[in-house]
């Protein structure tokens, strides 16, 4: 299969039509080999228009959804980015095309080892994989210009928005109901954090971000 041609078709049919045509984003999607982030048996469908599971509660988002999220986050070449629940690392690799440094967080040591090996093999030296609880982030390495949560969450912990630099942006899909999530962009200005809703999508849910059950008499 000609994966280079498949990347071009993906960009022309799934990304550009969804209002993501800025040269920097187009180039990122044309450069990062999506097929390298899925199991070998799924490489033929790597550029199809659906999510591809990569592990428990992990999947590569629809190309259009991750493209729209990246555009909404507006990463800059000098930014330091934090990717929460990086999974196979596709989103981290895309951000590596758009920022200076990317730190990819996963909870399981074996996932971190696989991420490290994959990024090294593909030559993404500016991506570092670190083991840490997803909901905690990396406060000792904050602040971050961009934080991307790579799954749907019931709520975004203050512990993560606290790690935004002044002017920083955090992107997450917040669960609205059983069948709907809404991409939400949080921004910090001084001591104030505000958000705006961007678009609707439904990536896999991160169970560790569920709200505590309310006590009922």
pLDDT in tens, 176-192: 987 789 999 999 999 99
Best CA proximity match to 119, nearest among 30, 28, 33, 25: 33
The single residue listed with the structure tokens 């209002």 is 19
Q: Which CATH class is domain 51-209?
A: alpha beta
Strands (E), the chain: 52-55, 58-60, 80-84, 101-106, 127-131, 144-153, 164-177, 180-189, 192-201
- The domains of the chain are located at 51-209
Per-residue confidence (pLDDT) for residue 217, from 0 to 100? 54
Report the DSSP pairing between strands 164-177 and 144-153.
parallel
- Listed as ranges, residues in the chain with pLDDT below 50 are none
User: Between β-strands 192-201 and 52-55, what pairing exists: parallel, antiparallel or unpaired?
Assistant: unpaired
**Contact, 81 vs 33, CB < 8 A?**
no
Model confidence pLDDT, tens digit, residues 139-174: 999 999 999 999 999 999 999 999 999 999 999 999
Do 55 and 111 contact (CB within 8 A), yes or no?
yes
Residue 213: per-residue pLDDT: 60
In order of 22, 60, 192, the CA distances from 26 in angstroms are 6, 18, 32
Largest CA distance in the chain: 61
The per-residue pLDDT for 207 is: 87
Rounded to whole angstroms, the Cα distance separating 125 from 127 reads 5
Residue 177: strand pairing partners: 180
Tokens of 185: 């962009």
């Amino acid at each position: 299969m000609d994966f280079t041609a498949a990347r071009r078709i993906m960009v022309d049919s799934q990304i550009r039509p969804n209002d993501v045509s800025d040269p920097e984003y187009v180039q990122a999607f044309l450069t990062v080999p999506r097929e390298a982030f899925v199991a070998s048996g799924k490489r033929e469908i790597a550029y199809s228009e659906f999510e591809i599971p990569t592990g428990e509660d992990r999947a590569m988002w629809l190309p259009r959804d991750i493209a729209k999220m990246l555009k909404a986050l507006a990463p800059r070449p000098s930014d330091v980015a934090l990717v929460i629940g990086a999974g196979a690392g596709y989103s981290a690799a895309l951000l590596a095309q758009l920022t200076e440094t990317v730190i990819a967080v996963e909870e399981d040591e074996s996932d971190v080892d696989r991420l490290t090996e994959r990024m090294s093999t593909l030559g993404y030296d500016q991506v570092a994989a670190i083991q840490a609880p997803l909901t905690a982030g990396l406060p000792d390495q904050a602040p971050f210009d961009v934080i991307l949560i790579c799954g749907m969450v019931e709520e975004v912990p203050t512990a993560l928005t606290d790690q935004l630099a002044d002017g920083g942006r955090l992107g997450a899909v917040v669960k609205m109901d059983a069948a709907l999530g809404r991409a939400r962009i949080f921004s910090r200005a001084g001591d104030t954090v505000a958000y705006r809703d961007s678009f609707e999508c439904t990536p896999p849910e991160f169970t560790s971000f569920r709200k505590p059950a309310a006590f009922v008499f």
